[in-house]
Structure 1
């Protein structure tokens, strides 16, 4: 009788090998792709710390989310009768695309974060735009990684770590997370559990103070060059990914600069919630006649309006009364990604769109200015 114990070992197939390579992360052939909007159903809500919760979703049509570890989706809850868009990193792994999660810190005065914490319950529905963002290890041929995070900046790095764990990767990962106190550490127990079962993962927590924890064994203070050199002496040989508050990321860049780190191997999450309502700064094409008037037609609604070359298509469309999903207005989040059916634009983005999407005719309306009459898929 053939039993599990005496089965002959199988030769790994090419399909199996690709799941151990970070260059293939996110390419699982799922169905909810970048640029699409879906209705999401909240499946579960879990507390992580006293001010952080994880929200688990599935697509209402049961399609799967195709994303790369480190990317984010844009939620658009309706608050006081108005849809409000905010970007949140997917904290779960793309290896589990049918139920995916975001992990949100309650921000004092934060409209959406407080609504999520206080109002969103399992069974509730809301709209969301498909994944975007270039803060991802996909396509980077490295074996040694250093993840540096602080506060809720842990979420994209947690997605990357969960992905490596799920795929039984042989990567060498050092994950250094900073928090105010041990009770503020997000995913503490899960990271410790993964470290115990994944030979290539080492986790280090750094806290400003021990708080009420009496047996804290990890470093106290803030991450600096002596601490990093002591605990990760080979950090100069690693691919570095960092995410956290702006001050933290500036401090990390400063200490790495002092250490003569090669910034060709440095990656930083550039999305900053504080600039959501700022106007994008876009360089002008030298040949663009800014005084020209262009006609823009929205193919689905039939709405037509005129605009100058000094305006972004997004701002002009909103002034004309068009409903256009948007969030950062900086060419970062990808929420306003829309198909340009006819015409040309001058687009200067900040990573919110991939070249393959541009090749398919998609454009970010928030950082695109017309150079001809346009027809847009809205």
Structure 2
């Protein structure tokens, strides 16, 4: 006998919290060669609150010590009962290969987030140009799915670059959405075609001419760009040379802006002060040299604090500061209400006084 799943309305449920709930894998779906979408629910009765285009950091148990990997959500918050990440496995990848081999329905993992500023909600425009390459399509898909649900008349020109037709992620779904979104214009560019692949679209690498052909009014659009660093650098330079207003250009990159921390005092400099960090859960008191971050001091003492980007962007190293003062300069990896509660990012926080950290 099949038992019907319990049904609750959204207003009967609490939002998912990375401090209290885990993610449970619902499905692993192939999308393209070496590309999979992993869909998750909460291990409790929760719904997911985030902005389209944001990311999560997954804690993957690949060995004695887990690894932290950051992935953009490809799902839309307009369908809040599950979230999904779409990932491409590289030859030398560790975390993603573990996901392909071990992350099956029913497996539970820890996650942090969602976080991130790469979203049209925070950078709205009258009309959009999404430019992506490879798996950089994921935040664009999240935003497009969201607009399909809540604003189907949105004006979007969607350009995606891939190696070949079979490697275009979400191609079928995008073509389906374009049937119901009259202002969604798709432009696929492939580097080459196999001998048996039929292709009538653009070939080669992206350039100003192809951008202009697919989006003749690109100078008037708000641009979101995501892909390999070399790809994004080229798009940015091309738009700048064309006279584009770069205030309307946004790119997703886990290369953070430089942290605006005061320079560390030189050893022996007058006024140099060492501080002490008490890691309460580990039961260790650690001397922290001037200029050291909490994360650096923790590692030197063998205290484990999970970290991924180590630059104040992903929020993985968030810890509770129980007492003391720190100097923290981050790149958006922590929310204001979390700071008010006492949380800090260990990777970009330097003690100003003796501190106690819950770690």
Q: TM-score, normalised by structure 1?
A: 0.84
Point out where structure 1 has 5 or more consecutive residues left out of the alignment.
Answer: 1-28
Aligned match of 1:242: 225
Shift of 1:187: 0.5
Aligned match of 1:6: none
Shift of 1:219: 0.8
Aligned match of 2:317: 336
Partner secondary structure for residue 204 of structure 1: strand
Partner secondary structure for residue 88 of structure 1: strand
Shift of 1:350: 2.4
Partner secondary structure for residue 182 of structure 2: coil
Return the alpha-carbon distance in structure 1 between the equivalents of residues 113 and 80 of structure 2. Answer: 13
Is 1:100 the counterpart of 2:75? The answer is no
Equivalent residue runs for 1:1-378 within 5 Å: 31-33=15-17, 36=19, 38-212=21-195, 214-272=197-255, 283-284=261-262, 291-378=272-359
C-alpha contact 1:62 1:98 (8 A) present in aligned 2: no
Residues 60 and 260 of structure 1, relative CA distance in 2, 3 Å threshold: same
Return the alpha-carbon distance in structure 1 between the equivalents of residues 296 and 232 of structure 2. Answer: 31
More moved, 332-341 vs 217-226: 332-341
C-alpha contact 2:259 2:330 (8 A) present in aligned 1: no
Return the alpha-carbon distance in structure 2 between the equivalents of residues 254 and 282 of structure 1. Answer: 25
Return the alpha-carbon distance in structure 2 between the equivalents of residues 105 and 297 of structure 1. Answer: 40
C-alpha contact 1:73 1:130 (8 A) present in aligned 2: yes
Return the alpha-carbon distance in structure 2 between the equivalents of residues 100 and 355 of structure 1. Answer: 24
Return the alpha-carbon distance in structure 1 between the equivalents of residues 19 and 78 of structure 2. Answer: 20
The root-mean-square deviation of aligned C-alpha atoms, in Å, is 2.3
C-alpha contact 2:263 2:291 (8 A) present in aligned 1: no
Aligned match of 1:15: none
Q: TM-score, normalised by structure 2?
A: 0.88
Shift of 1:300: 4.6
More moved, 179-188 vs 344-353: 344-353
C-alpha contact 1:32 1:130 (8 A) present in aligned 2: no
C-alpha contact 1:134 1:352 (8 A) present in aligned 2: no
Point out where structure 2 has 5 or more consecutive residues left out of the alignment.
Answer: 1-12
Partner secondary structure for residue 42 of structure 1: strand
C-alpha contact 1:290 1:309 (8 A) present in aligned 2: no
Shift of 1:39: 1.9
More moved, 130-139 vs 92-101: 130-139
Shift of 1:286: 8.2
Deviations 1:10-50 (A, max 9, x none): xxxxxxxxxxxxxxxxxxx96124x6363221110100012
Return the alpha-carbon distance in structure 2 between the equivalents of residues 230 and 260 of structure 1. Answer: 17
Deviations 1:242-272 (A, max 9, x none): 0000110011011101111111011111215
Partner secondary structure for residue 82 of structure 1: coil
Return the alpha-carbon distance in structure 2 between the equivalents of residues 125 and 286 of structure 1. Answer: 41
Shift of 1:238: 1.0
Partner secondary structure for residue 178 of structure 1: strand
Shift of 1:164: 0.8
C-alpha contact 1:30 1:66 (8 A) present in aligned 2: no
Aligned match of 1:10: none
Residues 223 and 97 of structure 1, relative CA distance in 2, 3 Å threshold: same
Return the alpha-carbon distance in structure 2 between the equivalents of residues 268 and 136 of structure 1. Answer: 10
What is the count of residue pairs matched by the alignment?
A: 343
